Structure 1
């Protein structure tokens, strides 16, 4: 596996882990925001997880 494929895969897994942690305690994962809520956690970390996972599969399929 190439370096960037592994990087995108690890980023997607870490973002998913951070998403789960943020759904339990949003202030832990959004400490820099004025308002910390679950909707922002889903928006930030869910978007990162989806984009990085799509980039990983795009690299796998294009080979």
Structure 2
């Protein structure tokens, strides 16, 4: 649900982001994992064409 709500804001975000960045496309992936027995989420933003990671977040 969090990613869905973020994607709904994407057009507005993309307009402001486009002026400052040369990234034409990026993908977001989220995965649930266990860290020391506790649930956590891993978020990764990456550029599929160059296969480079833009950002990584563990929550």
Is TM > 0.5 for Structure 1 vs Structure 2?
Answer: no
> Which has the larger helix fraction?
1
- TM-score with structure 1 setting the length: 0.28
> Which has the larger strand fraction?
2
- TM-score with structure 2 setting the length: 0.29
Greater relative contact order structure (CA < 8 Å, 6+ sep): 1
